[in-house]
Structure 1
Amino acid sequence: MPFQFTPDHEWIDAANPAAAVVGITVHAQDALGDVVFVDLPAVGATFAKGDVAGVVESVKAAADLYAPVSGEVVEVNEALRDDPALANSDPLAAGWFFKVKLSNPAELADLLDATAYDALLKTL
């Protein structure tokens, strides 16, 4: 399954529904500027779709990270905690934030595909 996106600029790769990978988009990291701190959720934390799951702080601003789907956090990116700049240098790979076990896979249908997300960006 390819990446899917939220209107709040998170992405999810749900190829493995037991450990779907979540991060911020290229647009989000561009808007934030240099990321200097990330507050990641705790492993075992559960979120409903749209809940605040963490915080990203940059030299320009702080922004909430929203859960794109409901589920339980099964892993966090400790490398990102040690080097928050990964969110800027590689937001769609090494800069991932956490992995979540989906509790309601049907919620994926509400997310944007790449074409729809690109169209959204053109309206901003």
Structure 2
Amino acid sequence: MSNVPADLKFMKSHEWVRAEGDGRFTVGISDDAQAALGDLVYVELPSEGDELTQGAGCAVVESVKAASDVYAPLSGKVVAVNAALADAPETINGDAYGAGWMFVVEASDASQLGSLLSAADYGATLED
């Protein structure tokens, strides 16, 4: 059974979003994505102040098996990044929905949240 927290929204490409209030949203990759990638060895994050476009690549995660793009679930400005991942990318493997968060975006159009999958819908895509 997959670990899919009910309070998150997801993209089909396995990014998750948690609303933090004030139009800010924390973003990371799902537990299933990190498991499929294997042991992460490198993470390239966007920079604070970067403007993101929903659906565009904005970060990269690399494992011993593969590199994978991370796509922006919402358009907006990056207001925080998890700099600790530079020295410990494996944090995502151990706690994808907690300490393994990647960045925080201040959404320019919060209505884009409606285009994301609910936890239940994301879970259903994993079963297919």
TM-score, normalised relative to structure 1: 0.96
Hey, what does 1:28 align to over in structure 2? 33
* Identity across the alignment (%): 46
Hey, what does 2:24 align to over in structure 1? 19
Structure 1 moving runs of 4+ over 6 Å: none
Deviation at 1:17, TM superposition (A): 4.4
Letter in 1 for 2:113: L
**Cα distance in 2, alignment partners of residues 36 and 17 from structure 1:** 33
The reply to whether residue 9 of structure 1 matches residue 17 of structure 2 is no
Q: Pick the aligned partner of 1:117 from 115, 122, 127.
A: 122
Question: Mind listing any 5+ residue stretches in structure 1 that lack a counterpart?
Answer: none
String of CA shifts for 1:66-90, please: whole Å, max 9, x gaps: 0001010000001111200001000
The reply to whether residue 63 of structure 1 matches residue 75 of structure 2 is no
Letter in 2 for 1:34: D
Hey, what does 2:3 align to over in structure 1? none
TM-score, normalised relative to structure 2: 0.93
Q: How many residues get paired?
A: 123
Letter in 2 for 1:23: G
Question: Mind listing any 5+ residue stretches in structure 2 that lack a counterpart?
Answer: 1-5
